[in-house]
């Protein structure tokens, strides 16, 4: 299934200026294209469109600290997703329960120093949408919506 993600039609990367009318097309767990919303709608006419009002779409974060305390491994992983992170460092996934919860949610477990999050064609589709206050509105891990603020 193809999905086009856009947030108020503003697309950002953490090291660049916002791009008006920008969007990301996702096929399965990969980024199929990045570009102008209208161009992607033309290239992917049958795609489902997810628009996130009130925010900016960019690469998901990497959680570089211990996972938040919560009653269960699933809730600890969900707390990370709520921050807009789609990856955690391996040293903080220190139990089989946490590893299983990360795997079930497609959260990437990174072995060492994390790379800078980017959105490029063919990369894993890890995206996040943040509102003007910096709060996470939605998190996409490997092309799948795993958190949405209501």
Q: What is the CATH number for 32?
A: 2.30.40.10
Mean pLDDT of the chain: 88
How big is the CA angle at 7 (ends 134 and 109), to the nearest 5 degrees?
65
My answer on whether 66 and 86 are in the same domain is yes
Angle between helices 96-104 and 73-81 (to 10 degrees): 50
Average pLDDT over residues 67-95: 96
Task: Report the pLDDT value the prediction gives residue 73, as an integer from 0 to 100.
Answer: 97
Domain housing 122 = 2-60+116-148
Tokens of 79: 């707390």
My answer on whether 7 and 49 are in the same domain is yes
pLDDT tens, 82-104? 999 999 999 999 999 999 999 99
pTM value is 0.90
My answer on whether 120 and 72 are in the same domain is no
Look-up of token digits 């206050």:
133
Is the predicted pLDDT of residue 22 greater than 70, yes or no?
yes
My answer on whether 54 and 31 are in the same domain is yes
Inter-residue contact 67 to 77 (CB < 8 Å) = yes
Taking the C-alpha atoms of residue 52 and residue 43, their distance in angstroms, rounded to an integer, is: 21
Taking the C-alpha atoms of residue 113 and residue 126, their distance in angstroms, rounded to an integer, is: 18
Taking the C-alpha atoms of residue 63 and residue 85, their distance in angstroms, rounded to an integer, is: 6
My answer on whether 42 and 14 are in the same domain is yes
Inter-residue contact 107 to 99 (CB < 8 Å) = no
What percent of the residues of the chain are helix, what percent strand, and what percent coil, each to the nearest 5? 20, 40, 40
Task: Report the pLDDT value the prediction gives residue 107, as an integer from 0 to 100.
Answer: 97
Residue with the larger pLDDT of the pair 131 and 106: 106
Please give the DSSP secondary-structure letter assigned to residue 80.
H
My answer on whether 19 and 83 are in the same domain is no
My answer on whether 75 and 86 are in the same domain is yes
My answer on whether 15 and 25 are in the same domain is yes
Per the structure, the count of domains in the chain is: 2
Task: Report the pLDDT value the prediction gives residue 63, as an integer from 0 to 100.
Answer: 96
My answer on whether 53 and 120 are in the same domain is yes
Percent over 70 (pLDDT), the chain: 91
Inter-residue contact 33 to 17 (CB < 8 Å) = no
My answer on whether 13 and 44 are in the same domain is yes
pLDDT tens, 6-15? 776 556 655 5
My answer on whether 47 and 121 are in the same domain is yes
pLDDT tens, 123-148? 999 999 988 888 999 999 999 999 99
My answer on whether 86 and 120 are in the same domain is no
pLDDT tens, 52-61? 887 788 899 9
């Amino acid at each position: 299934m193809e999905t086009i993600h856009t947030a108020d039609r503003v697309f950002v990367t953490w090291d660049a200026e916002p791009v008006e009318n920008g969007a990301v097309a996702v096929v399965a767990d990969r980024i199929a294209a990045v570009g102008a919303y209208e161009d992607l709608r033309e290239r992917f006419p049958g795609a489902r469109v997810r628009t996130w009002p009130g925010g900016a779409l960019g690469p998901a974060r990497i959680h570089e600290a211990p996972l938040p305390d919560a009653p269960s491994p699933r809730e600890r992983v969900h707390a990370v997703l709520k921050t807009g992170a789609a990856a955690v460092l391996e040293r903080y996934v220190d139990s089989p329960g946490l590893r299983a919860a990360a795997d079930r949610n497609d959260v990437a477990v990174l072995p060492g120093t994390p790379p800078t999050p980017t959105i490029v064609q063919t990369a894993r589709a890890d995206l996040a949408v943040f509102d003007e206050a910096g709060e996470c509105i939605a998190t996409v891990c490997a092309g799948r919506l795993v958190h949405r603020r209501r």
